[in-house]
A and B are shown apart, each in its own frame.
Chain A
Amino acid sequence: MNIPLWLDALIAALLLIGAVVATLGSVGLARMPDFYMRLHGPTKASTLGVGCTMLGSLLYFSAAGKGISVQEVLITVFLFVTAPVSAHVMARAALHRRVACSAHTRHPPWPEMDHPPETPSPATRGDARHAPPSTPGEVSDTP
């Protein structure tokens, strides 16, 4: 097949950007301290990364003369529709189960929310343990 050079470069750039962004989302999934932060990485970054990959594939197969396949468009649309829905139901299930949040969370949904055992540094962990449980009214810099 004969793909022009600019289209070749565009498809390669889309595939590379998609792979890098999806990997960043997965690194966020593996490295973030608590569940509510972990939810951000895959549900936004990975969706954008896979969307870029799908767009590159769409351009490749339409430039290669095979036409636009129905499955690709369907996968893209379905992915962009269902990613926010699954993120929402997962966050709701976590709040229902009272999954622990980080000690640095500004406005916890309830005051006695417990914290995960692995907090980033020992100093902040000791402060968070010995400090009295803060209520949302005590935070001074609330808007």
Chain B
Amino acid sequence: MIAAILPLALLLFSVSLLLNLYRLLRGPDLTDRILGLDTLNINAIAVIVLAGIYMDTTIIFEAAMLIALMGFVGTVAMTKYLVRGDVIE
């Protein structure tokens, strides 16, 4: 049953990645683009995890963990740049 569900879940996550990319490219304000990029990161983590189940390996989960860490740091840095005008004061 998992083998039947996995392509469907990957398809749904691909659709949501495309929607995030639409908001990232079109967003009227800078904060919309930051939000789109943050959501793109979170959905990319899920796609990597599904690919790990598909290939039956846990090696690529370290890449997902790195994306989670770097995505959060990037979001906080960009919003801090918008609010304070500088990242590291």
B69 within 8 A of A: yes
- Can you pick out 17 interface pairs between chain A and chain B where the beta carbons lie within 8 Å of each other? A12-B2, A18-B46, A23-B16, A25-B16, A29-B35, A35-B31, A38-B32, A49-B46, A53-B46, A53-B49, A57-B53, A61-B58, A71-B64, A72-B49, A78-B65, A86-B79, A99-B29
Q: A-contacting residues of B (Cβ < 8 Å)?
A: 1-2, 4-6, 8-10, 12-13, 15-17, 19-20, 22-23, 28-32, 34-36, 38-39, 42-43, 45-46, 49-50, 52-53, 56, 58, 61-62, 64-65, 68-69, 72, 75-76, 79-80, 82-83
Q: With A18-B9, A90-B34 given, is the CB distance from A57 to B82 under 8 Å?
A: no
Between A and B, how many residue pairs show CB distances below 8 Å? 162
Specify which chain A residues have a CB less than 8 angstroms from the CB of B79 in the assembled complex. Answer: 86, 89-90, 92-93
A46 CA / B15 CA spacing, docked (Å):
13
A23 touches B13 (CB 8 A): yes
Q: Which residues of B contact A11 (CB under 8 A)?
A: 2
- Chain B residue, CB-CB nearest to A74: B65
Binding site for B on A (CB under 8 A): 3, 8-9, 11-12, 15-16, 18-20, 22-23, 25-27, 29-30, 35, 38-39, 42, 46-47, 49-50, 53-54, 56-57, 60-61, 64, 66, 69, 71-72, 74-75, 78-79, 82-83, 85-86, 89-90, 92-94, 96-97, 99-100, 116
B35 contacts A75, C-beta separation under 8 Å: no
Report chain B residues within 8 Å CB of A27.
16, 19
The main secondary structure of chain A at its interface with chain B is: helix
The B contact surface, by secondary structure, is helix
A56 to B42, CA, bound (A): 16
Known: A23-B19, A78-B72. 19 other contacts (CB 8 A): A12-B2, A15-B6, A15-B9, A19-B10, A22-B46, A35-B29, A38-B23, A38-B35, A46-B16, A50-B45, A53-B46, A57-B52, A86-B75, A86-B79, A90-B35, A90-B38, A90-B75, A93-B31, A97-B30
